[in-house]
């Protein structure tokens, strides 16, 4: 039996190889590598895809969130509400601007931030709610936007894992005041290196982010603010334009793989399969199952040549980086339970039905 890796780029990259090579050649021959036509084209294309007025290409997803908060004038003494169940980058963005991340527990069914828990976390210092569309499923954005409006708060979506997901028909990354996304290679829309973007419908925010990413400058050598070097280069912008044309088809494949897993793994042991909110869509950046025997199952799959990953083994509040906040084991029990019991199965465009069935059969064997 041939090994089944957790992630395999080969099928999708084989399909677009000639387009990618042509894009690279275009940049190479133009001899213009930063802030050029490829970036301008991709920003327009991604804004159109994401149904926003503006898309500003930046260096990576964390920088996108950082710049979004900076553009909203979030600063020292402010608080940013983030999920307790997320990758640490969400919290780091708040820390970068001097704000304090305030953790809120997820919905135990969808694993996304639970709107019912948000209001209790709001204080006079709260400035932003930062929902994360985790694993590829849209958060309950109607409820979150209503809370933000009620308390006069900004919303910054962390859309790194959910390109193309929707809530009540509206696409993620188009709800908030400014929203960050990542194009890290493993994402549903992935560059061939680090890359990211901020999406917004607000012209003044878009202009500010475009300036901040480029040393605080709109005009060369004229620096209006203390900015950053957080630009998306021409090579990656060109690659992303190529991949964006294929994203809907790749998302369709991810959904089909998830459907196959759902059918094959129904009623197996104590497995909890992904639950999707009635008004949300899921683009399956990750296919995450839950079991009390997570570590044993992972070991069994590894011994049979099947790659898996744990997203995420240590919640942000228990990381050494945030020990100053004073949290301990038990502070956020739902996030901790997910960290102890969740396992991400292989899923990628080009994965075959036979490979999905092989993973499923090996999981069934582990429970016998």
Average pLDDT per block of 10 residues along the chain, 368 residues long: 93 98 98 98 98 98 98 98 98 98 98 98 98 98 98 98 98 98 98 98 98 96 97 98 98 98 97 98 98 98 98 98 98 98 98 98 96
Answer for the pair 142, 167: CB distance below 8 angstroms, yes or no. Answer: yes
**From the centroid of its chain, how far is CA 89?**
10
Would you call 128 exposed, middle or buried from its count of C-beta atoms within 10 A (0-12, 13-18, 19+)?
buried
CA–CA separation, 296 and 341 (whole Å): 11
Q: Could you tell me the two tokens for 340? A: 């102890």
Q: Say what the pTM is.
A: 0.98
Nearest CA-CA partner of 172 in 130, 145, 139: 139
Q: Nearest to residue 118, comparing CAs of 105, 134, 100, 133?
A: 105
The pLDDT of residue 209 is 98
How far apart are the C-alpha atoms of 241 and 239, rounded to whole Å? Answer: 5
Rounded distance, CA 129 to CA 82, Å? 7
Chain centroid, CA 169 distance in Å: 19
Sorted by sequence, the CB contacts under 8 Å of residue 145 that are 6+ apart come out as: 155, 175
Q: For residue range 171-194, what is the model confidence (pLDDT) as tens digits? A: 999 999 999 999 999 999 999 999
Q: CA angle, corner 283, sides to 282 and 288, nearest 5?
A: 75
Q: Is 229 exposed, middle or buried (0-12, 13-18, 19+ CB in 10 A)?
A: exposed
| CA dist., res. 134 & res. 7, Å (int) | 18
Q: Using CA atoms, how far apart are residues 179 and 61, in angstroms rounded to an integer? A: 10
Helix axes 10-30, 234-244, angle to 10 degrees: 140
Q: What is the pLDDT of residue 368?
A: 87
- Report phi then psi at 159, rounded to 5: -105, 25
pLDDT computed for residue 2 by the predictor: 84
**How does pLDDT run across 277-326, given as a tens digit for each residue?**
999 999 999 999 999 999 999 999 999 999 999 999 999 999 999 999 99
| Residue 97 exposure: Cα atoms within 13 Å on the Cβ side | 29
Contacts 24+ apart (CB under 8 A), 323-327: 325/100, 325/101, 327/103
pLDDT at 1 (0 to 100): 61
């Amino acid at each position: 039996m041939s090994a089944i890796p957790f992630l395999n780029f080969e099928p999708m990259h084989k399909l677009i190889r000639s387009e990618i090579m042509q894009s690279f050649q275009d940049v190479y021959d133009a001899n213009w590598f930063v802030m050029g036509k490829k970036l301008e084209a991709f920003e327009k294309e991604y804004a159109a895809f994401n149904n926003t007025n503006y898309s500003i290409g930046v260096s990576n997803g964390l920088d996108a969130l950082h710049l979004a908060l900076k553009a909203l004038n979030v600063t020292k003494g402010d608080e940013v509400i983030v999920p307790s169940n997320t990758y640490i980058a969400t919290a780091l963005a708040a820390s970068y601007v001097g704000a304090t991340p305030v953790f809120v527990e997820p919905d135990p069914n969808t694993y996304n931030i639970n709107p019912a828990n948000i209001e209790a976390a709001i204080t006079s210092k709260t400035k932003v709610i930062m929902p994360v569309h985790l694993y590829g499923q849209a958060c309950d954005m109607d409820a979150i936007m209503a809370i933000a409006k009620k308390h006069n708060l900004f919303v910054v979506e962390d859309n790194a894992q959910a390109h193309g997901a929707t809530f009540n028909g509206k696409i993620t990354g188009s709800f908030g005041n400014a929203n960050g996304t990542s194009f890290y290679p493993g994402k549903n829309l992935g560059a061939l290196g680090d890359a990211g973007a901020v999406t917004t419908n607000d012209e003044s925010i878009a202009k500010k982010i475009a300036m901040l990413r480029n040393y605080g400058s709109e005009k060369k050598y004229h620096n209006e603010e203390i900015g950053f070097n957080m630009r998306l280069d021409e090579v990656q912008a060109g690659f992303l334009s190529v991949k964006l044309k294929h994203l809907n088809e790749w998302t369709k494949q991810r959904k089909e793989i998830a459907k196959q897993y759902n059918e094959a793994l129904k009623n197996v042991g104590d497995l909890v399969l992904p639950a999707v909110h009635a008004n949300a869509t899921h683009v399956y950046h990750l296919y995450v199952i839950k079991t009390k025997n997570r570590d044993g199952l992972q070991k069994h799959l590894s011994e049979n040549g099947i790659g898996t990953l744990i997203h995420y083994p240590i919640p942000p509040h228990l990381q050494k980086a945030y020990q100053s906040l004073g949290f301990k084991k038990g502070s956020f029990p739902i996030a901790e339970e997910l960290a102890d019991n969740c396992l991400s199965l292989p899923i990628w465009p080009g994965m075959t039905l036979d490979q999905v069935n092989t993973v499923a059969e090996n999981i069934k064997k582990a429970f016998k």
